[in-house]
Structure 1
Amino acid sequence: MFDSIRNHKKYLMGFLLLLIIPSFVLFGIDGYTRFTEGGQSVAQVAGKDIKQQDWDAAHRRFADNLLANSPNLDRGLLDTDQARYASLQRLVDERLLATAADKLRFATSDQRLARELQQDPTIATLRKPDGSLDMAQYRQLLSTQGQTPEMFEANVRADLSRRQVLQGVATSGFVTPSVSKAMGDAYFERRDIQWLRLAPADFERQVSVSDADVEKYYQANAAQFQSPEQADVEFVTLDLAAVAQGIVLNEADLRAYYEQNLKQQASTEQRRASHILLTVASGASADDKAKVKAKAEALLAQLKAAPGKFADIARAESQDPGSARNGGDLDYFSRGAMVKPFEDAAYALEKGQISGVVESEFGFHIIQLTDIKRPAQRSFEAMRAEMEPELKKQQAQRKFAEAAEQFSNLVYEQADSLAPAAEKLKLKLQTVKGLGRQGQPGVLSNPKLLTALFAADSVQKKRNTEAVETGPSQLTAARVVQYAPAATQPLAAVAAQVRARLVAERAAALAKADGEAKLAAWRKDIGSAKLPAAITVSRDKPEGLPLKVLTAALSADLTQAPVLVGLDQGREGYVLLRVNKAVPRNPPTAETARLEANELAQMWSSAEGAAYLSYLKTQFKAEVKAPKPGPAKPAS
């Protein structure tokens, strides 16, 4: 694959999307948190409100689905304000597309819905040997997700209708070869440069710092030398694992679960068959079709008289080019791999049997079943160890809502201790010493829980926090046991730290001054510039160049080359950059050019789809009312 453009396509995508997506005003985290705590409308589409509870439910669904597909994903990444806001944007887009599908009369037929469901690999495993769907297993599977078949099918139908809204626009994008070449050449253009970093460390010997300087800097920047506030806390977490621990399995339920697993195993059996296919031309008349069928009936009569000649007759008569030369052999296949009439007939046969004439969309088949592979049937006792935790998990999912309500009530009603909730629900009461506002890995990294834990009421009165959702199907309540406020450390304790910081700042200032002086002198006489040997850099081969320096090198105006540029990098020093000339990219191979054009067309289609979505937001008055949170703060 074309790795370089894939690794850097965010730059191209950013350029395209800048043309069509307006910027947002950023709000502080505090305002965001206050907004989401209420039950008010958080967004609106076509005059219909999206409530806080809708948002919460949508985020839970998204998080559950993501964790189901990526079990090793850090749950903390899904618990941030930024992740929750992204879920709200997705929910608004869903409602918007549903509204557009309704207004623009995009509908999904029963036949289209059926095809979609038939292609679902999970549903395919629930088919009985005769090809029909095991409705009992189907309902049970959906019930573990809190859905009925009617709800699930309605959601699939709605999703298919929503897809149609953007499908026509998103698939219409194309990029001509000349445009693709121009953009590729511009994106992968190389630059011949020389650069020099003036590091502050090289100027530290020139810095002199007295005790008076240290004290003055300390007094002016005392807030930088505070010991952070800390709290000793206790917390308790309710999740599916905790609920499952309290479940005692009924032997009858375990037996029933075993029987269901046996049915699922049976549905995964593979069959091997050979066939003779006589094709029917598209648009053939009834008479022509009848002639083909009559020929198939004649071949079937021959096979009944001499079953052992199936392979010879298939080689001579079958019109399936893929299997005819192999005597009609189709190798092994599972349910869902063949068209339904063929599959139904093949799964109705015993090994060695030959079917009647079977009609499908491809023509007329005669099928001989040559082998059956059935999964080995394991005993109840052999599967007990695997089934117990899975069945407990399923039952825990059904009981979690009841346990969550009880947990929330207990931590609220007995607000001065978490012990009653832990004892009642058999949960582990955990403690942490010296917790700061930045939290720590695990549930104590959740921003909402940390905000509640360090709120004035929690700190002063040592009351329990409310039960906070710290992950999918996970609630946590915490309580401050001991609190130490932030305090300025005495100068004696931080004098070395103050001195080092002051030296670094003054050394960086000297590096900058020296760099600016050199830049001014070299611009007057560019031949006097003393820089290391030239290197060639590009977006896909930056040669270790820092991003800021690379960006300056690639964006420099070369109408009067060479160009000298100075870059102040603060504590990292000062960079002097000379951009000598542009170097054309190496001509791409035909395959690389094709892949570039394909990726660029996909990006363009995505951009057009985003632009159309933006238009629909204006057309149907879609509005997000919740303030957008600011950038996530890095863990300190």
Structure 2
Amino acid sequence: MFELIRSHRRWMQFILLVLIVPSFFLVGIQGYDSFVSSEPELATVAGQPITRGEFDNAYRNQLEEFRQQLGTRYDPALVDTPAMREQLLNQLIDQRLLARVAADNRFSVSDETLRNTIASIPQVQDNGRFSPERYRQVLAAQGMTPTMFEAGLRRDLAIGRVLQPVTESARVPSTVATAIETALTQERTVQLRRFDAANYRSQVSISPEDIKAWYDANQQQLTVPEQVSAQYLLLDEAAASKDIQVKDEDITSYYEQNQSRFGQTERRRASHIMIQVPAGASDADRQAARAKAESLAQQAAANPAGFAELAKANSQDAGSAQKGGDLGWLAQGMLTGELEKTILSLKKDQVSGVVESPSGLHIIKVTDIQPPAVKPLAEVRDQIVTEIRKQIAATRFAEMATKLTEIVYEQRDSLQPAADALGLKIRSASGITRQGLLPADQAIGADPASKSSDAEALDNPRVRQALFSSEGLRDKLNSGVIELASDKLLVVRVAEVKPQHVSPLDKVTDSIRDRLTNERAAEAARKAGDEALKTWSADAASLPEGFGASTVVSRSQPQDLPQPVLQAVMRQPAQPLPSYIGVADGDDYVVARLDKIESGKVDASGVELLSRQLGAAWGGAENAAIMKTLRTQYEVKVLPEAATVIQGADNPDAPVG
């Protein structure tokens, strides 16, 4: 057959052409193009696509950044959301758009600007100066060459110049900043009268019919999400330290080997007289300082007992002069150079000659000496026992961790083998959902996780991810060893799954009664406050009973006023005064009496700072407006495939659970 094809090659080519050409009319040339390049397109910028592959790469990089930043607090369910994916797609569109604008308008960056930018990067500096060697090392660690990095940086700097003029030119007039600063610092004198909802609870009566009606009308609020009860093993320092006994001979040996740690080296108490010699002093000034120091040294040597008075009268060290030159207790290593050498060489009450240091000239007297000493074993015994136990526990922890990892993988349908082998207790907890721990009254089981001493460990995102993975939820297999900290490991296993459900009425009767009582007490407090407000507003001149002391507040200095109350007070018209205003503060109702308004004190530095902050905000708003215009100009289109990606459907990189 192959010989036939070779012999009639032209005829075979003609037959293939006859077969292929009609298919173009059936599926279209575009169909073949899609077959060859099948990667979905999410958006286009000036006709150029942003593909699913580009998005997926950026998506993986962003999740990895979150993982590194958050560490053990990383929870894919919290960071990997439709809003995050939509924001990421918009960032890719904006990057492509700015690059196109920079290219079309021939934005460029000079070699000098590029060099200065690189030299200013702290990671490539050595002692504040650019280091070519460190530059190459940093790039090599990231798998980049200088050529690659510089090309990318040059491109990024050029793109940055598209919006840079807008950002840098955004300015808020000083009159606007001054007016806002005046509003922020305007002071108002108020007195408050609070109507506490708690005081009205006794007046509220809730019937069984009220509870049933609320229950029937609010089924959605009473829905308890899917939850699991879990078994788990916790390996920590306490578990590794269990039953460790420290022998007396080990304590003695440890003490003898570490006496330097339990002892005290020689300490000396010293005083000094210092004559300052400024760094730029002339030779004449130096000679004068030296002569004065020599004279003081002779006086001190002649009368060591009068050293303190001599220091008070002559030392130029303000910190010690008033204390007679006392420097306190000093140990070897606390000072350096000639000062330390001199102090260590003097006997008690002996006075030195003139000693020079970078700070000046010194005359030194050693006033006391404490010889080296070692604490007795009895005094440090408990400390030694604790340290030995920790060392043994650290070794045991590493061994137990290795064994735990092996057993939970070898026998994945139960935690009992690992518990037996390591002497650990299997613990139980209930009420764990994909989002966190349920309140105790909604948890299924005897040990609600929210009340467990291990609640923080069980509420870890990685623990929840393991429990709600397909293996954990469907097959109820042991998780891998989850490292919560360097000295805390956890293994979990689903014991029971409870589907999403509406809590039975008898389980939530008390909470509904409390809720309705709070709502009606709050309503009663509001009505009482409104009635009082009408009465007081009709006769604003007199001060009713029950108001607190006057407080001066401003928008920048709220003085612990609740935000709703502060906003209501600051919005109250300036005339007439005094005036009253009522506002809800949680369940309570607050009536505020406004007595006085004073203009704010405008500070020039405050206005300047506010002006910069407002300018930055204004620049951000202008940038957003320009980007919107550029999207129209360059015909940016978000394609239907983007909706699938944003919702997370059909995403192989999306985290499980």
- So what's the TM-score if we normalise by structure 2? 0.50
1:102 Cα deviation after fit: 2.0
CA distance in 2, matches of 1:263, 1:210: 72
Matching residue within 366, 370, 373 for 2:367: 370
Report the counterpart of residue 266 of structure 1 in structure 2.
Answer: 264
State the one-letter code of the partner of 1:372.
I
Asked whether the equivalents of residues 541 and 578 of structure 2 are also in contact (C-alpha less than 8 Å), the reply is no
In structure 1, runs of 5+ residues without a counterpart are: 1-37, 44-48, 61-78, 86-96, 110-178, 588-592, 619-626, 628-636
Contact in 2 for aligned 1:470/1:476 (Cα 8 Å): yes
Distance in 1, matches of 2:542 and 2:585, equals: 20
Match of 1:567 in 2: 583
Aligned position for 2:472: 458
State the distance in 2 between where 1:356 and 1:544 align. Answer: 62
Q: After superposition, where does 1:131-146 map in structure 2 within 5 Å?
A: none
2:259–2:374 CA contact under 8 A, matched in 1 = no
Number of equivalenced pairs: 448
String of CA shifts for 1:32-77, please: whole Å, max 9, x gaps.
xxxxxx995348xxxxx8584x546xx58xxxxxxxxxxxxxxxxx
In structure 1, give the amino acid aligned to 2:236: D
Following superposition of structure 1 onto structure 2, how do residues 60-459 of structure 1 map, counting pairs within 5 Å?
102=122, 107=127, 189-193=187-191, 195=193, 197=195, 199=197, 211=209, 215-225=212-222, 232-244=229-241, 255=253, 259-260=257-258, 262-263=260-261, 265-267=263-265, 269-280=266-277, 282-285=279-282, 289=286, 309-312=303-306, 319-321=314-316, 330-334=327-331, 338=335, 340-351=337-348, 355=352, 357-374=354-371, 376-380=373-377, 382-393=379-390, 404=401, 407-432=404-429, 437-438=437-438, 439-445=450-456, 446-448=459-461, 449-453=463-467, 457-459=471-473
Q: 2:564 is matched with which residue: 536, 548, 551? A: 548
Distance 1:478 1:564 in 2: 59
Aligned-partner residue type, residue 443 of structure 1: D
Deviations 1:490-510 (A, max 9, x none): 446656765675676577668
Distance 1:101 1:431, change over 3 A: same
Structure 1 residues 485 and 330: CA distance shift in structure 2, 3 A: same
Alpha-carbon displacement from aligned partner over 1:149-196 (angstroms, at most 9, x marks no partner): xxxxxxxxxxxxxxxxxxxxxxxxxxxxxx99x979965834335656
User: For 2:303, what is the secondary structure of its paired residue?
Assistant: helix
Residue 595 of structure 2 is matched in structure 1 by 581
* Distance in 1, Cα, partners of 2:324 & 2:205: 89
Q: Which has the larger radius of gyration?
A: 2
Instruction: Tell me by how many angstroms 1:415 deviates.
Output: 2.2
Residue 127 of structure 2 aligns with an amino acid whose one-letter code is A
Write the distance in 2 (CA, Å) between the matches of 1:471 and 1:339.
Answer: 41
Deviation at 1:479, TM superposition (A): 2.2
How far residue 377 of structure 1 moved from its aligned partner, in angstroms, is: 1.1
Distance, in Å, in 2 between the alignment partners of 1:311 and 1:226 is: 86
CA shift for structure 1 position 320: 1.5
Does the C-alpha gap of structure 1 residues 259 and 374 become closer, same or farther in structure 2, counting only changes over 3 Å? farther
1:542–1:355 Cα change, 3 Å: closer
Give the match's secondary structure for 1:283. Answer: coil
Letter in 1 for 2:384: M
Q: CA deviation at 1:360?
A: 0.6
Alpha-carbon spacing, 1:584–1:106, altered in 2? closer, same or farther (3 Å): farther
Closer, same or farther in 2 for the Cα pair 1:339/1:512, shift >3 Å? same
Q: Is the 8 A contact 1:311 1:327 kept in 2?
A: no
Distance 1:580 1:245, change over 3 A: closer
| Cα distance in 2 between the residues matched to 1:382 and 1:314 | 37
| Change over 3 Å in CA distance of 1:450–1:444 after alignment to 2 | farther
- Is contact 2:246-2:389 (8 Å) kept? yes
Equivalent residue for 1:537?
Answer: 551
Give the letter for the 1:537 counterpart: T
Residue 413 to residue 102, structure 1, CA distance change in 2 (3 Å): same
Q: Would the alpha carbon gap of residues 348 and 430 (structure 1) be closer, same or farther in structure 2, given more than 3 Å must change?
A: farther
Partner of 2:493: 479
- State how far apart, in whole Å, the 1-side matches of 2:373 and 2:59 are: 54
Q: Is the 8 A contact 1:339 1:360 kept in 2?
A: no
Q: What is the rounded CA distance, in whole Å, between the counterparts of 1:98 and 1:378 in structure 2?
A: 56
- 8 Å CA contact retained: 1:549, 1:567: yes
Deviations 1:501-533 (CA, angstroms, capped at 9, x unpaired): 5676577668768988998x889x855999954
